Homo-oligomer: A and B are copies of this chain.
Amino acid sequence: MQYSDRILNTPSSFIRNILKVTDASDVISFAGGLPNPISFPLDAIQTSIDRAMKEHGAKLFQYSSTQGYLPLRQYIADKYNRKHGLDISPDDILLTTGSQQALELLAKVLVNKGDGIIIEKPGYLGAIQAFTLSEPTFYPVTLEEDGINLEELEKALQQPNVKMIYTVPNFQNPTGLTYSLEKRKQVYELVSRHDVVLIEDDPYGELRFEGEDLPYIGAGKLENSVLLGSFSKTVTPGMRLGFVITKNKELLTHIETAKQATDLHTNIFAQYVIYDYLANNDFDKHVEKIIDLYKTQSDAMLQAMEKYFPAHVSYTKPQGGMFIWATLNNGQSALDVFQKAMDKNVAFVPGDPFYTDPKGVSTMRLNYTNSTPEMIEEGIKRLASIF
């Protein structure tokens, strides 16, 4: 049997393979990327399920529209207009099977084999996987403390057939970095001169525990802007519910056709239930609880790093989200360190899978959302003894 080129070139998830090793109960794991279960409002969801079933009965179980449940799209539009000063309507929104699906659909409708995709370096692994299925040419642009490097971005935009730029502007996965206001303006200026889709993937934006919310780079201003959101980090990832926002009607129509052909529509039970939950609960208060927890955990990790890590290890200081990114400035291979760390029952994700062109990197992603401050201190201490 001869398989397709696209699947032979798609990396299987390094992280999911790592998780199989790191799942043992005596391992302190910073390898995952799971939200803390505190983010699942179980009792409120149970109430919403009962109410939605009572009110809508069989509609929760029948085939449904590809674009998604209108009241939920209306809720999302209202929220983004209110919180971010956008001017979007429910027609500008399509609900997806998690925002992972949105990534795959975007590449599917925009990218012919060999077309260019600009991606942050390091970049989100799930995006690299999803995009690879469309067999693009990747143009990685270095992600710095305040956002992507502008000179490299300008150069990448000169390449032939560049179709899209993929960014995670807030608390990026894997680095935890956030674009500065100034950098957002500069990226907007640069991108607005090109016929290219700017994707802002923002699953973590609401989980800010320091600093002020910043305006999106292109959303609401740029014709070819696409904003992605998700309920995975604030309500539940298990129900797989994300969304695409764009005012480019032609693009959204193509995404809808691709979604139809891909899985017909998003689980409608989940759409009714999550809408009911959002409409009947104090969501901001719920998110506040998640933020408080993650801030405590992030603080614990940063303090332990300051206390234990040798001077040659640098690391990011996230203002929100779920990750810290560490760099071994003495050139140690993160994969070598990973093996030694596993001997000490502590795990993280070596940086390699976050690059489209990995070459034995010295970087690593550390997640803090599923460990207690005590476990975090102990794990960082063990790690430090290897460096």
- A: residues with CB less than 8 A from B are 1-7, 10-13, 16, 34-35, 37, 40, 42, 45-46, 49-50, 53, 57-64, 66, 97-98, 100-101, 104, 108-113, 115, 126, 129-130, 132-134, 163, 195, 197, 224, 232, 236-240, 248, 250-251, 253-254, 256-258, 260-270
Once the chains bind, are B42 and A57 in contact (CB under 8 Å)?
A: yes
Contact of A40 among B13, B61, B100, B132 (CB under 8 A): B61
Q: Whole-angstrom distance from the CB of A331 to the nearest CB of chain B?
A: 31
List the number of copies, as a whole number. 2
Contact of A134 among B4, B61, B238, B269 (CB under 8 A): B4
Contact of A4 with B238 at beta-carbon distance under 8 Å, contacts A61-B45, A98-B263, A100-B263 already known: no
Once the chains bind, are B34 and A237 in contact (CB under 8 Å)?
A: no
Once the chains bind, are A266 and B239 in contact (CB under 8 Å)?
A: no
Once the chains bind, are B16 and A269 in contact (CB under 8 Å)?
A: no
Report the bound CA distance from A159 to B322 in whole Å.
Answer: 52
> A16: which B residues are within 8 A, CB to CB?
66, 260
Residue on B nearest A115 in the bound complex, by CB? B4
Contact of A104 with B37 at beta-carbon distance under 8 Å, contacts A1-B195, A239-B269, A266-B240 already known: no
Q: Whole-angstrom distance from the CB of A15 to the nearest CB of chain B?
A: 10
Q: Whole-angstrom distance from the CB of A188 to the nearest CB of chain B?
A: 18
Contact of A37 with B58 at beta-carbon distance under 8 Å, contacts A133-B262, A240-B264, A263-B101 already known: yes
> A257: which B residues are within 8 A, CB to CB?
7, 10-13
Residue on B nearest A33 in the bound complex, by CB? B63
Report the bound CA distance from A343 to B263 in whole Å.
Answer: 33
Contact of A261 with B37 at beta-carbon distance under 8 Å, contacts A63-B237, A134-B4, A238-B267 already known: no
Q: Whole-angstrom distance from the CB of A83 to the nearest CB of chain B?
A: 24
Residue on B nearest A232 in the bound complex, by CB? B63
Residue on B nearest A5 in the bound complex, by CB? B112
Once the chains bind, are B7 and A109 in contact (CB under 8 Å)?
A: yes
A-B contact pairs, 28 of them (CB 8 A): A1-B248, A1-B251, A4-B109, A4-B134, A7-B257, A7-B258, A10-B258, A11-B257, A12-B253, A13-B257, A34-B62, A35-B62, A42-B53, A49-B49, A61-B238, A62-B237, A62-B238, A64-B238, A97-B263, A98-B263, A100-B262, A104-B262, A126-B261, A129-B261, A239-B269, A240-B264, A240-B267, A267-B267
